[in-house]
Structure 1
Amino acid sequence: MSMSRVRVALPLLALITLWGCSSGPEFVARHEPWRVEEESACLASGVVRENPFLRGRSALGGPSVCGAAKPFEMSAASLGRVSLKPAALLRCPMIPQIERWVETVVEPAARRYLGTPLAEIKVAASYACRPINHQSGGKLSEHGHANALDVSGFVLADGRTVTVKAGWNGDPRESAFLMAVHKGACEGFTTVLGPNADRFHHDHFHLDLARHGRDGLTRICK
């Protein structure tokens, strides 16, 4: 596999690297110290602990700045009541936010709008070292830091499946459910993108914990 990179010096000694390989598109990446700090703080806090549905995995390293020091494979949330399929590979800070979202937003919304418990979340993507929206030459996606989760749909306890693609503008009950879980995600995640964001998200929700703006406190909810 061939690999190339071009480094460009920026103000304040920031370093941007353009990476590309024969099997995927190029992306622009920069070392951001806050990522290591947040992951380390989360791991040290003890809020995330291994259990039958959450297993620690070996460090993810490269190419470029892709990866995580101690990622976790998450196969279920809400004490195992709600499966994640396929299992998601994520860094520590994402785990408690997903748990909060599932327990306080998605499960109640399923019962309220659809009249049945939630059984499964359909995972479209988690860790993947690639540019945003797979667009060559673009910025490295939060997926490249194991800091994002894409959700394409939900499976209910009665066997029904509600997908973002068909349900967002479809059955009124499914639409209300999806809009509620999308809105609720904006309370915990710093980036939430759905069908109203752009053509790249017409069939899934993108959730991440990126920092936006100069102070890192800006949130994006579309």
Structure 2
Amino acid sequence: MSLSRALSRLALPALVLALGACSGRAPFIAGEEPWRAEEERACLAAGVVRESPFVEARASLGGLSACGAIRPFTVAAAAGGSVHMRPPALLRCPMVPAVDRWVERVVQPAARYYLRARVVELKVAASYSCRSKNHAWGARLSEHGHANAVDISAFVLADGRTVAVKTGWWGALAERGFLRAVHAGACDVFTTVLGPGYDANHRDHFHLDLARHGRDGETRICR
């Protein structure tokens, strides 16, 4: 490796910290992660996500910053348009089918079993946001900064009921069962799943992302 390239790699975290400070956000640390672009390009080339009345392709995000995605999508509804996402989530390509699988294979069956109803809407607490993890000063760039995460705060049912993570996690038995089932099932779809059992920052939502963990990138975090 050339000296100039080595110096540029060492300077990257400091550069990102400076950019964060200038933007008014808590500065974060970010490094080179080639897998992100490779994975996103493969998903786009495979045509896994197709535009529809509820899935719209967007221009690239982030520009020259450490944040962003090549060609993200605004998702107004999941699972073939059957479950609204409000507000719409801005997600990179691999996240879109992951959300669909979770809704179809985990959320709806759990809703039928525990609540005797169908979920018609997901309340989105956060999707793309160029920021540090938990908004902490000097922390690593959040997966939200790559449009690789979505936070879900509540589930709206066809009969008008709303099951919120904050109140339902320790609420009525049916709500507790439903929320724990969709949390556990998410761990088979996403590589990171964080909820009220993790820490106070996640007491009111489920954080779902497709980050790579561990040396082989295969480790899953489910808390």
CA distance in 1, matches of 2:171, 2:107: 18
Q: How does the TM-score come out when normalised to structure 1?
A: 0.92
Identity of aligned residues (%): 64
- 2:191 aligned with 1:200: no
Q: Secondary structure at the match of 2:81?
A: coil
CA distance in 1, matches of 2:108, 2:57: 25
Matched pairs, number:
215
CA distance in 1, matches of 2:195, 2:134: 13
1:213 is aligned to 214
Which AA in structure 2 matches 1:191? T
Q: How does the TM-score come out when normalised to structure 2?
A: 0.92
1:159 is aligned to 160
Higher strand share: 1
2:139 is aligned to 138
1:57 is aligned to 58
Structure-2 change in CA distance of 1:111 and 1:10 (3 Å): farther
Structure-2 change in CA distance of 1:114 and 1:143 (3 Å): same
1:29 is aligned to 30
2:3 is aligned to none
Per-residue deviation, 1:202: 0.4
Alignment of 1:172-191 (within 5 A): 172-191=173-192
CA contact (8 A) 1:14 1:31 kept: no
Q: Secondary structure at the match of 1:28?
A: coil
CA distance in 2, matches of 1:124, 1:103: 20
Structure-2 change in CA distance of 1:147 and 1:10 (3 Å): farther
CA distance in 2, matches of 1:10, 1:164: 45
CA distance in 2, matches of 1:65, 1:108: 38
Which AA in structure 2 matches 1:198? D
CA contact (8 A) 1:193 1:206 kept: yes
Which AA in structure 2 matches 1:75? A
Stretches (4+) displaced over 6 A = 10-14
1:75 is aligned to 76
CA distance in 2, matches of 1:58, 1:41: 17
Q: Which runs of 5 or more structure 2 residues have no equivalent in the other structure?
A: 1-5
Higher helix share: 2
Per-residue deviation, 1:11: 11
Structure-2 change in CA distance of 1:11 and 1:180 (3 Å): farther
Per-residue deviation, 1:61: 1.7
CA distance in 2, matches of 1:203, 1:52: 30
1:124 is aligned to 125
